[in-house]
């Protein structure tokens, strides 16, 4: 009756493992600040530093072509 109620800290939404959407690199502690977050079709995707650089041109290129 007199038990202390354990109150686990609520999980932080960004503290889950993330996977690079391009090369598949996995980070268990959530996305590092150096990673790029991109939302495509309502789905959040992360890109590691290397892939973000490579992907930047692709994203910009796609935007460009879609605006034409
Ligand atoms: Zn990557």
Q: How remote is the CA of residue 26 from the centroid of ligand 1, in Å? A: 9
CA distances from 1 to 4, 6, 7, 8, 20 (A): 9, 14, 17, 20, 48
Q: How remote is the CA of residue 18 from the centroid of ligand 1, in Å? A: 11
Q: What is the pLDDT of residue 48?
A: 93
Q: How remote is the CA of residue 4 from the centroid of ligand 1, in Å? A: 45
Residue 12 lies in a domain: no
Ion ligand 1: protein residues whose beta carbon lies under 5 Å = 20, 22-23, 25, 48, 51
Residue 32 lies in a domain: yes
Number of domains in the chain: 1
Residue 2 lies in a domain: no
Gap between the terminal Cα atoms of the chain: 69
Residue 4 lies in a domain: no
Question: Residue 59: which domain range?
Answer: 18-67
The proportion of the chain whose per-residue pLDDT surpasses 70, expressed as a percent, equals 76
Residue 33 lies in a domain: yes
Q: What is the pTM of this model?
A: 0.59
Rounded distance between C-alpha atoms, residue 41 and residue 62, angstroms = 14
């Amino acid at each position: 009756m007199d038990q202390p109620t354990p109150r686990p800290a609520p999980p932080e939404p960004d503290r889950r493992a993330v996977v690079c959407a391009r090369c598949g690199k996995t980070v268990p502690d959530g996305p590092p600040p150096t990673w790029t977050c991109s939302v495509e079709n309502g789905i959040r995707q992360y890109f590691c530093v290397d892939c973000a650089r490579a992907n930047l041109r692709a994203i910009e290129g796609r935007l460009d072509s879609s605006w034409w």
